[in-house]
Structure 1
Amino acid sequence: MAHRLRSESLGFARVAPVRLVFTAEVSAPPDVVYRALADDVEGWPAWFTAVTAAVPVEAGAGREVRLRGGITFRETVIATEPGERYAYRVDTTNAPGMKALVEEWRLTPAGTGTQVRWTFAADGSPLFRFVLRRARRAVGRSFRDAVRDLGRRLAAAPA
């Protein structure tokens, strides 16, 4: 059963009780990476294997996302800075123990490509926070694999 989370702003990404921050590089330029994140929401399952479905809602102001294992999110996009930043907060989820979640994707030029920094900022019950901290390594691996696969997808896309 889905439950409503606290409505947090982008600033939560800096002060959340649990912050998982990861970086990886991709050979595509920031504007191309941004379009894959923000404009091709339905394409996420092709490169982020934890995501099984993603659809934009409310004319792109939100998203509905389903993860492996049946976790669902209804999100509101809270920052869109083409070529630089894409961020959203989760409004409702069926994930137990979660109280607030903001994800921020920062893009910065790196040589001929892009450094992608993903911040997963969350709050929840003590058990939720403990489990999330313990999952840091697996979440990081999932992110790095996703960015690698995104890079392959973007390299194979027609110009």
Structure 2
Amino acid sequence: MVRRLRAVGLDFTGTAPVRLVFAAHVTQPPAPVYRALAEQVADWPAWFKAVTLARSTHDGAGREIGLVGGVRFRETVVAAERERCYAYRVDETNVPGVRALLEEWRLSPSGSGTRVQWTFAADGPALFRFALAAARPGLGRSFRSAVGALDARLEAGR
């Protein structure tokens, strides 16, 4: 069953009832990291283990994402600031309980590489918010693993 979510803007990263923020450092400069996030969407499963399907839609203005366990998202890109920010909101999903969901990837030069910050902003009923907060450690591990794999992939020149 497809569930339509509430349309939210980039400001939702600061107002969402649940905000999970993670950061990591990669050795690559912002340009190739941004390309991997925003322009090479189909390659996400190669470096983000939780992602099983990723493709751009609507000439890059949207995305379709599949996750391990059968989770599906149809998304709209809400920010694409070259080498700085890539963000998308979920418009449709098969996940019960979620009312609104937006993810933002912020990039900033840091020493000899890039600081990558991922904000996962969501809203839903109390049980959903509780479950998401409890999932924080696992989401953090998934993020750190993905960013490490992305850094290694970019280093290898793939």
The TM tier, using the shorter chain, reads over 0.9
In the TM superposition, 1:38-57 aligns within 5 A as: 38-57=38-57
The residue that corresponds to 2:115 in the other structure is: 115
The residue that corresponds to 1:8 in the other structure is: 8
State the distance in 1 between where 2:3 and 2:138 align: 25
The residue that corresponds to 1:133 in the other structure is: 133
* CA deviation vs aligned residue, 1:74-104 (integer Å, no higher than 9, x gap): 0000001000000000000000100000100
The residue that corresponds to 1:68 in the other structure is: 68
Letter in 2 for 1:136: R
Q: Secondary structure at the match of 1:151?
A: helix
Q: Secondary structure at the match of 1:153?
A: helix
Letter in 2 for 1:79: A
State the distance in 2 between where 1:105 and 1:23 align: 9
State the distance in 2 between where 1:15 and 1:22 align: 17
Alpha-carbon shift at residue 57 of structure 1 (Å): 0.4
Q: Indicate whether 1:92 and 2:68 are aligned.
A: no
Alpha-carbon shift at residue 112 of structure 1 (Å): 1.5
Letter in 2 for 1:25: H
Aligned length: 158
Q: Indicate whether 1:146 and 2:146 are aligned.
A: yes
Overall identity of the aligned pairs, in %: 60
State the distance in 1 between where 2:118 and 2:153 align: 19
Alpha-carbon shift at residue 2 of structure 1 (Å): 1.1
Q: Secondary structure at the match of 1:98?
A: coil
Structure 1 unaligned residues grouped into runs of 5+: none
Alpha-carbon shift at residue 137 of structure 1 (Å): 0.5
Q: Secondary structure at the match of 1:44?
A: helix
For the aligned residues, what is the CA RMSD?
Answer: 0.6
Give TM-score scaled by structure 2 length: 0.99
State the distance in 1 between where 2:4 and 2:46 align: 28
State the distance in 1 between where 2:2 and 2:152 align: 34
* CA deviation vs aligned residue, 1:99-134 (integer Å, no higher than 9, x gap): 000100000001111000000000012111110000
Letter in 2 for 1:65: I
